[in-house]
Amino acid sequence: MATHHRVRAGALLCCLGLAVLGLGACQEERTTRPVAPSRAGSAAEVGGTAALIKAAKREGRLNTIALPRQWASYGGLINGFEKKYGIKVVVDNPYGHSQQEIDAIKRYRGQERAPDVLDLGDSFAQSAARQHLLAPYRVAQFDQIPPEQKDAKARWYNNYGGYVSIGCDAARVRTCPESFADLLQPEYKGLVSMHGQPTIAGSAFAAVYAAALANGGSFDNIQPGIDFFARLDKVGNYNRADPNPAAIAKGKTPISIEWDYLNLEHIDQLRGTGVKWKVSIPFDGSFSQYYAQAINKDAPHPAAARLWEEYLYSPEGQNLRLVDYARPVLMAAMAKNGTLNKALASRLPTVEGTPQFPTEAQLNKALRTVRENWAKTVGG
């Protein structure tokens, strides 16, 4: 202990001496030894962004899951990441759903093919966090993400989102519906579909939530939404086919309840096919939600996983979301600091009012209710 005191005293005298000589005072530096990417809670903990990039390039690969290239600009994001860093992005089960992503983490734990990163609906992200499947990691822009759009422990944070909308092929449907109430009309028999099952898919879960709000429900009570789809099925309007562009072009799913960014993208995808796709946000059930990003705590490529998250929250990544009409979570912050692509942002539909979001407790309750009651009320 005495030796330690002498060393510090000697250093202090040296600093004072240098100051007297006009050479400037010195300051003790506290350095933190970099940690392995698998344990890093930020790029700084790896040794900085350059060190993270170097480690990710050594890994050379990123495993993703359930990322269709046409969903919220993932095609452009994957291309951009590969070009920028020279890291191969592998997409497993591109048309999978949130619950299947969580299942894959468990199934392939410890294997090279396990997903490194996840893209999940909020309720599923919270479920994964409760199961201790996610690695805490703060991207550089973490503090700019609104509090209600992230986990305080940084196990997940929203990246992009939109509003539940109704898409309709005006070439096949004489009068396109603009509300959930409209969807029950007999003229829409066998025409109304949605993307996936609400027990496993975030998009369908949001559709049920929106239907609940349109039918006397609330963030605390999603049951009216389940009952709405039961009525939709009973009158023969519910169509269980997936409303992908091919199905729409063939006339199999002329009306689709989907995120507005998916329905808006269909306009571009189906141009020249004879489809006249129109999109409206139902005035009786306006519901907005975002998709969260998360890192598998046992990611086989932990540096690439963390670098991917940094890329998704960079101005480049956030503006790419706008290309396919998704709303970036940092949109307000980017508008303020001048990094938002205003031309792309101006294409988004205007929505009245400020979006409200269910709390974690409300989301968890809603998901439990859907899982318990959907099959017995609506069927498979």
Task: Provide the token pair at 120.
Answer: 């999940």
pLDDT reading at 152 higher than 60: yes
Helix (H, G, I), strand (E, B) or coil at 114: coil
Distance CA 210, CA 204 (A): 10
What Rg value do the Cα atoms of the chain yield, rounded?
A: 25
Answer whether 264's CB lies under 8 Å from 325's CB. Answer: yes
Helix (H, G, I), strand (E, B) or coil at 171: coil
**Tens-digit pLDDT profile for residues 65-102:** 999 999 999 999 999 999 999 999 999 999 999 999 99
pLDDT for residue 351 = 82
Domain ranges of the chain: 37-161+289-345, 162-287+359-377
Distance CA 45, CA 57 (A): 17
pLDDT bin (cut points 50, 70, 90) of residue 7 is very low
Average pLDDT, the chain: 91
Query: Does 162-287+359-377 match 37-161+289-345 at the fold level?
Result: yes
Which residue matches tokens 């929505």? 351
pLDDT for residue 2 = 38
pLDDT reading at 284 higher than 80: yes
pLDDT for residue 350 = 81
- pTM to 2 decimals? 0.83
pLDDT for residue 27 = 36
Strand partners, 354: none
Encode 48-73: b = buried (16+ Cβ within 10 Å), e = exposed.
Answer: eeebbbebbeebeebbbbbbeebbbb
What mean pLDDT is predicted for residues 175-184?
Answer: 98
E strands, the chain, where?
Answer: 61-65, 88-92, 117-121, 157-169, 192-194, 255-259, 277-280, 288-295, 327-328
Distance CA 329, CA 322 (A): 11
Q: What is the CATH number of domain 37-161+289-345?
A: 3.40.190.10
pLDDT reading at 318 higher than 80: yes
What mean pLDDT is predicted for residues 364-371?
Answer: 96
pLDDT for residue 13 = 33
What mean pLDDT is predicted for residues 14-35?
Answer: 46
Topology (CATH) of 162-287+359-377: D-Maltodextrin-Binding Protein; domain 2 (3.40.190)
